[in-house]
Amino acid sequence: MSSADVAVKVFRNLKNEDLRVLQVIETAMSQHEFVSKEQIARFSKLDLARDTHFRLSRLSKLGLIYRITGAYVGYTLNYSGYDCLAINALVKAGVLEAFGKSLGVGKEADVFDALNPKGERTAIKFHRLGRISFRQTRRKRDYTTQRSASWLYQSRLAAEKEFQALKLVYPHKVAVPEPISQNRHVIVMGMIDGAELAEYKEISKPEKVLKQILRNVKKAYLKAGVVHADLSEYNIILKPDMHILIIDWPQYVTREHPNAQELLTRDLKNITRFFERKHMLKVELKEALSYVTGEGRITTWSHPT
């Protein structure tokens, strides 16, 4: 079960006091990696001996916090706890009503199908950065070598950045999921039906698909001033109607960034190479680059044998 699976499963059963304790730990974690029971009692205004103890052991059993024992006893949020705080905020903001199935669990994100209160489908992406999972690191020293709670910060930063990118390119009609909301390390966006381009063994009109990709990279660059910077066949969704959407934007840079040209070239190299290798369609990298930057056209679409 992924951390988001845990959060989705237990969220409905959480009481206000549970959420308050999670929030107190979250806040204190900006100062300390581990937060003591006394601190938690003080800031949550719960009775120390009874209520705080009860909440902490309950949250720990639910898998939302982690307790470290030794010379110092302290608590830290784990990803599921952080997920619950974000889910709670999104429910309160009226953008999230229910979770559906998991759309993808990876190293850096968990993505879920969800519904908003109007019954419309959305996709919810939980960013996971900067921390090896708890399952892999049961030993104490693995924690102490980590900078204080930086995973919280890095994951939130990734979500903020991705949401920002979507908001920059979406109004220019770049083919991306609609940005709906963001809280902490989570973004809510329009749901897309389809599969990663990499998963298609064959596509009937590769030229059409590549043209769409290049047109969208061009729009993002020229109109929104944005370079994706992690573009590949894994971050392009091909819908059943053969239209594409470009996803996964947390690494974006603006056109003014000192490495923008280099990153744009790399993006285009990934795509042109993929089409040459997998779909027997060759476009010169130089031509693709000059098309995308508005300096020229693509003159040859060849089919190497």
Ligand X SMILES: Nc1ncnc2c1ncn2[C@@H]1O[C@H](COP(=O)(O)OP(=O)(O)OP(=O)(O)O)[C@@H](O)[C@H]1O
Question: Which residue ranges make up the site for ligand X (CB under 6 A)?
Answer: 103-104, 106-109, 111, 123, 125, 177, 189-192, 196, 235, 247-248
Q: Considering beta carbons, is residue 135 or 139 the nearer one to ligand X?
A: 135
Return residues touching Mg ion (CB under 5 A). 235, 248
CB of 167 to ligand X, least distance (A): 14
55 or 125: whose CB is closer to ligand X? 125
Q: Which lies closer to Mg ion via its Cβ, residue 37 or residue 266?
A: 266
Least distance CB 269 / Mg ion (angstroms): 17
CB-nearer residue toward ligand X: 24 or 187: 187
Backbone angles phi, psi at 211, to 5 degrees: -60, -45
Report, in Å, the least distance between residue 265 CB and ligand X.
21
Report what 103 binds from ligand X, Mg ion, none; CB cut-off 5-8 Å by kind: ligand X
Shortest Cβ 8–ligand X spacing (Å): 15
Residue 142 appears among annotated catalytic residues: no
Q: How far is the CB of 99 from ligand X (least distance, A)?
A: 14
Q: Which residue's Cβ lies closest to ligand X? A: 106
Catalytic residue among 18, 110, 230, 248: 230
Name which of 241 and 256 has its Cβ closer to ligand X. Answer: 241
The catalytic residues are 230
